[in-house]
Amino acid sequence: MYGQHPLTGDELIIRRVKKQRSKLFGCAPGTHQQMGFLPIEVSDQVSTFATDAKKILVNKSYAESINDLNIRGIVVHESLHIGLKHHIRLVVWMKRCGLSKEDAQELWNIGTDYIINGMIKSSENYGKDFTLPDNVLWDDIYSTCGWPAEKVCNDMLRKGWKPKPKRPKPGDPKGPPKPGGVDDPPDTEGCGEILVPEELQGDSKEAKEARAKEEQDINNRVAEAAMLEKQIGQGKGGMFDKIFKSTGKTTPAEHIRYFLKKHFSHVRSYKRPNKRFLHRKIYLPGKIKTPHTLYTCIDSSASMGQDEFEKCRKNLVRWAKELGLSKIRVAYVDSEIHMNPDIGKPWYDIDLKNGTGADAMELDIYGGGGTSFDPIFDYLEKNNEDVGGLVYFTDGMGWVSERNPSFPVLWITTYCAPRFGGRSDEGKPFGKVVHI
């Protein structure tokens, strides 16, 4: 058309990726929900595709070398990196693995690619609606075992994994890769990297707060993606419903977040539809802010030291902020409940103003005697108190009678799991046990 400038090579690549991404709405709506609003940039700083959950980076030469189904498969690949929070979890794992930052990121991208490619190739939509390039990373064990990324990477280290010889990356100011030897052009087995934004890195207060905010944002996006998959009935390609329901595939912290998200997070209601999908005439429930109370019980026996109490406090502060809790109710129990004399009940209330007052939270220590986990359960059953769920902090050094409480229980232990069934009997465990 007169007056229009012809599209550049970069613009054609961006248009092509956008077009293939849009075609995922019908077969992998969860992926489209995660990736549909991210800007796409052509970059010579990556070898294939990459994402930091804020944008999609594309290597022009690589994109030109693959077909449209491959591009769709790589967009699915990148969406799973984000949905599984690999960019956030890498920061935590990096501090524990003993590798340099560069080597840790290399191993992490390999391990997470094994997992993601296994998920994609097991999808019923694979081969029809999307594919992966022929030479993507695959391992007969790691791609099928269902392990979390941390366990895969740790196992690779245990078996002697070593980083590849360092060589210039595309666009490196030191010059292009030299032919032959260690400077051969990098292989492209990894079809899509996960990158960590600068603001999420490090141990500063600002970085930790940024990671917590990013994690909550991803949790919301995954929840919306899972609902969209169910609504459209095409969730086999996106797999976000599986991620949303997953409880045992990640770190102990993920167990805790899942429990809290399920029982204490914001409720959703069709009274306030999600505006993001209304233009497509898809009606999904939106979030409604309601005040939430978290019920907790702290083992205040003599075996629980000041360090354990401080761990309890730090976790409660973090959860209060993430979930916007209005109130935390704490019960202190050793061999008996230390009742609040002002109300004649176990609960000492901490008012938080939807999480904003969490940093000023303090825990008092009542007790110092022996250990029994029964008293709080006996009290709740006798008084038929509706707690919604109970988080029990302990070192695990004690017994609890076998029972089937009417509410979910999360045991957070600093040492061992409680003994279920009493001092002499081996009973059936109840609740979820997480070690920190």
Q: Print burial letters for 172-198: b (CB count within 10 Å at least 16), e (below 16).
A: eeeeebeeeeeeeeeebebbbbbbbee
Phi/psi of residue 128, nearest 5 degrees:
-110, -50
Residues of the chain with pLDDT under 70: 1-7, 166-189, 233-238, 241-242, 244-258, 261-292, 322-324, 353-361, 367, 422-427
Please give the model's pTM, rounded to 2 decimal places.
0.61
Q: What DSSP designation does 275 have?
A: G
CATH number of 290-435: 3.40.50.410
The tokens 């999600």 sit on which residue? 274
Reduced to 3 states, what is the DSSP secondary structure of residue 124? coil
Q: Print burial letters for 299-311: b (CB count within 10 Å at least 16), e (below 16).
A: bbbebbeeebbee
According to CATH, where is 3.40.50.410 located in the chain?
290-435
Cβ contacts of 202 within 8 Å, gap of 6 or more? none
Q: Report, in angstroms and rounded to the nearest whole number, the Rg of the chain calculated over CA atoms.
A: 25
pLDDT confidence of residue 178:
40
pLDDT confidence of residue 132:
95
pLDDT per residue as tens digits for the range 25-53: 888 888 888 898 999 999 999 999 999 99
Q: What DSSP designation does 276 have?
A: G
pLDDT per residue as tens digits for the range 393-410: 888 888 898 888 888 898
pLDDT confidence of residue 360:
66
Q: How far apart are CA 191 and CA 135, in angstroms?
A: 9
